[in-house]
Structures are given as structure tokens and as C-alpha cells.
Structure 1
Amino acid sequence: MTDSVVQVRKLWTTFKNGDKETIVHKNLDLTVRRGEVLSLVGGSGTGKTVLLRQILGLETPSKGEIIVLGKPVAELSGQGAASRVGMLFQQGALFSAFTVLENIAFPLRELKILKDDLIRETAMVKLQMVGLPPEAAGKMPSDLSGGMIKRVALARALIMDPPLLLLDEPTAGLDPESSDSFCALLRTLHQGMGLTVVMVTHDLDTIFELSSRIAVLASQKVIINDVPSQVVTLDHPFIHDFFLGARGRRAMALLPGSPPPI
């Protein structure tokens, strides 16, 4: 039986605004298997990024249980959490006053257990691992392109070699060439580091290029969590609209054995 890295059980997420209560997740179940790339997709308001942040421990569900790497997610919070779970935020979330190298090294510096020269060496290794040259180390975030910001943020997320990587819209805002290049980098790192990846994305090319399985959020729960070729066969309005339009058919050409797009 395949090990599970993330288990979400009977999860409820509700938000209150005065007397009004909105239920985002209701008895939601999700399992993420070790070594896979799982994409979370769904319409607006289905709580994809909320679920990602709950897995990271940044938000607390109203009810239910989240087990990450064999422990309740609350036990992963605080110092040392970055050694278990890495997170790439949609806009990169780099510190504007820090250089590239300082941004990458930040999680290690916070632990205060390594000497400065070792921290710098480790950060330089990660800088080159994500395809950036050594001379980029001294640049400021304001000097970087969108693709470079994503790579620096990814290097920071991986600085402590976490087994689990969470990605929020990893290719959002990138031009097609940069997006393809970033997908290729993610694929290489996933295979080379043995990562388990959970990804929220709307980009169909990214989904079909990287996903081992796709979990579709609709009706306040996960309605299917399966390989891409099976997900697209489910008779559901969101799946018809999202996957089976012209863009979806073109993207599905990436699937092994798929017919060419019409």
C-alpha cells in the first residue's frame, strides 16, 4: 500500500460575516500519496488555496483532521516546520529589503543552528539548483523578472530539503516560454529530490504536464481524486467547462495516448 503524506478527514471550513455563515468545505476528505504531484482544481470559491494553507498550518479548519507526514498539522507549526514542508506562494512573497541570497537563506537563519558560511554555501547550492547563476545572489527582488522571482521563492522553499512541497499557482503571471521552463524545473526537482507535491493551479498545460493525480473541488468536497485520464471522463459541469473546452482539449494532447486536438 502506498504511504500517504497528507490525510484530510471530515474537514469543515466555515467563514462568518455578521449573522451570515458560509460553508466552504463540508466533510471533505483528501489523501496525498508519497512521491506524487497532486493538483487541486475547482471553481472560484471552492477553497483550494484555503485548503493548501490549512495543510501548511497557516489556517485552522472549523472541524476535521489534517495529518501531515504522520503528525497532526498543528505539530508542524513553529520553528523547524520548513524542514518538513516547503511553500511557494503565488506572488513569491520575497522580502523586498533582502537580496536574493538572503531571501533563500532566511529559513536557515531563523533556526540559528548553522554558521554563516555554511548557510551561505547551502543557499548558493539551492540558487544554482533552480537554474539561476551565482551572480544573481546579490540582486534585489525589484531587479528580477517574474520567472526569476518564482525560482528564488522555490529555492527558499527547498532550502531545508523538505519532503513535501506546496505550490500556489506556480506558473501564474509567466509568459508561455517561462511557464514551460518552470514546469520542466519542477519536474526535474520532483524526480531528483523525491518530492511529494501538492499544487493549486488553473493552468491546464501545467496540470497535464505535471500531475500524477487531480483532485477536483466542487459542492464543498473533493468529488474525484484520480489520474488525469479518468478525471476528464467524470460527468460534472465543472469538468466539462474546465477540461473539455478548446483549451482543455489542446492541453490534454500532453496525455499519453491522447488523440491530437481538434
Structure 2
Amino acid sequence: MATALAPAAAAAPGPAAAGPMVEIRKLQTVFTSPERRLVVHDDLDLTVRRGEVLSLVGGSGTGKTVLLRQILGLEKPSMGEIHVLGQSVSELGRKGAASRIGMLFQHGALFSAFSVLENIAFPLRELKTLTPTLIREAAMVKLQMVGLKPEVADSMPADLSGGMIKRVALARALIMDPPLLLLDEPTAGLDPDSSDGFVTLLRSLHRDLALTVVMVTHDLDTLFELSTRIAVLADKKVIIAAAPKDVIAFTHPFIRDFFLGPRGQRAMELLREYPFAI
């Protein structure tokens, strides 16, 4: 049975259909305390093209996850503008953001007192006026879309493996059929087999649902297998956003240490292995 919500790929095109998925301009993020003033982003610009998988990499404290949360509208930048499909995130509101953006948090962020099905269905219950039957049917479609069996629906998060938690959280991120998916360290904490399976799932969903993906990851295999472009955060801004081979060739201390240091041999192997086109 079809999901109760229309797939994002089939949505009627709006005025911004031909434009970028995300535009970030002149972004500044400042955290202040009685002891100090910390500038994380300063004059940061970034464009996310429709249909791409853009990965954010950077050192500790460069604000990669903060940037994801700002795109989602969970945090407000100190200055600057973020637009999703041509509309300011600050004007979208909770329902508008949920219909355009799904987010997979690093540790899943499932509600421990809710069953798997209740976790997946939660955004629908909160933001849509649908019958319980339609909500359950839509949640079951997403459960199976992420490769889980129907009998998992009534399980509790405490009974799930790490890989299953990631898949349930992904199903919840997709329940509103958003065109934009944000991933924060999607394979963190997974064993190699579970990580490989999850990356394969993400590739399939990106293709089949015509998703645009913005991802934060430190894992080189995940980075090179999924990314069509990489944006590097350093010096409080995006210093380059380009195809992986062009990023590696870019001269900057962080890029030299991240890609060409102890992990450089693996990076070169992956560069030869993946064509960077999904």
C-alpha cells in the first residue's frame, strides 16, 4: 500500500524547484559565556545542490553538527541567512521544516518509552491530521523501506541492536517524505558489516527517493562511498566545497593532515575505488 504522504520526488515543483536545495550566506555563529566569546562560524557561505550528497568535514570545534542543527532550525545563527528550497529557515516554523527536512541524529535519539512503530510515527501524530490507521500504515511502509521486518514494529528501543536503532531513526527521519536529509555521523558506533549495510541502504534511498543529503562523518569509507562533494570547514568558514579528488588536491594544513596524514594511504585507495557519482 502506498504511504499516506506523497513521495518528495513526486511533489509538485514550486518556484524554487530549479534552484539549490540549501543556501547559506554570511553565517556567523558565536557562543558567549561570562568567561569568553567563542566564534565558531564567521562569514560562512555554502550552497547545497539539489540531488547531491554533500559531506561536511572539519576538525573538532568547527561547528559541523551545529550547522546541521541550524539548517534544521533547532539553533539560530548569530547572523546570516539559511534558505531551504528558497524559503528562510527562520520563517519555516516547525511544520514547514519537518515537511522539507529529515534528520538522523548521531545516536538515533529514539524515545525509550515508545515502541519502534510509535517512534517512527511520532512526527505524523504531532504534525499531521491523519487517522490512526493511516499513521500506522505510513509508519509500516517506512519500517520496511529501511530494511526492517514488520514484526520489529512493536519492539522497544532497548531491545534493538545499534544497527537497528539507526534504521528506525532513519525511518522516522523519512516519515514526512522530506526532500532534504541531514545525517550526523550515520555509521558511528556500528560494526563493519552493519556500517556497510547502512551505507548501501543510504545509497539506495538517495537514488530511489531523489533525496538531497547533507552529512557529517569522520569515517573515510562512508565519506568516499557516499559523497558527491565534500565541504571542508576550517578557519571558521567553508574553505572548499568540491569533488573529493579536488578537495584532496587543495593545499591547506587541515586537508593535508586529515587526508594525507596517517590515513592518507586509505584515502588514496578509496579515491581510486569510488567514482563519486551515485
TM-score under structure 2 length normalisation: 0.90
The whole-number CA distance in structure 2 between the counterparts of 1:151 and 1:192 is 17
Are 1:208 and 1:252, in contact at CA under 8 Å, matched by a contact in 2?
A: no
The whole-number CA distance in structure 2 between the counterparts of 1:231 and 1:77 is 35
Equivalence map 1:101-180=2 (5 Å) = 101-180=117-196
Are 1:57 and 1:73, in contact at CA under 8 Å, matched by a contact in 2?
A: yes
Are 1:80 and 1:111, in contact at CA under 8 Å, matched by a contact in 2?
A: no
Equivalence map 1:1-262=2 (5 Å) = 3-256=19-272
The whole-number CA distance in structure 2 between the counterparts of 1:75 and 1:252 is 43
- Higher mean alpha-carbon deviation, 126-135 vs 16-25, is at 16-25
The whole-number CA distance in structure 1 between the counterparts of 2:150 and 2:106 is 24
TM-score under structure 1 length normalisation: 0.95
The whole-number CA distance in structure 2 between the counterparts of 1:243 and 1:214 is 12
Q: Which runs of 5 or more residues in structure 2 are unaligned? A: 1-17
% of aligned pairs identical?
73
Work out the number of aligned pairs and report it: 258
Cα deviation code 1:158-216 (max 9, x no counterpart): 00110000011100000111111100000000000000000011111100000010000
- Higher mean alpha-carbon deviation, 112-121 vs 147-156, is at 112-121
Q: Which runs of 5 or more residues in structure 1 are unaligned? A: none
Distance verdict in 2 for CA 1:80–1:108, change over 3 Å: farther
Cα drift, residue 17 of structure 1: 1.3
The whole-number CA distance in structure 1 between the counterparts of 2:125 and 2:268 is 43
Cα drift, residue 76 of structure 1: 2.2
Q: Letter of the aligned partner of 1:222 in structure 2?
A: V
Q: Letter of the aligned partner of 1:113 in structure 2?
A: T
Cα drift, residue 19 of structure 1: 4.7
Across the aligned residues of Structure 1 and Structure 2, the Cα RMSD in angstroms comes to 1.5
Q: Letter of the aligned partner of 1:237 in structure 2?
A: P
Cα drift, residue 152 of structure 1: 0.2
Q: Letter of the aligned partner of 1:134 in structure 2?
A: P
Report runs of 4+ in structure 1 exceeding 6 Å deviation.
none
Q: Letter of the aligned partner of 2:85 in structure 1?
A: L
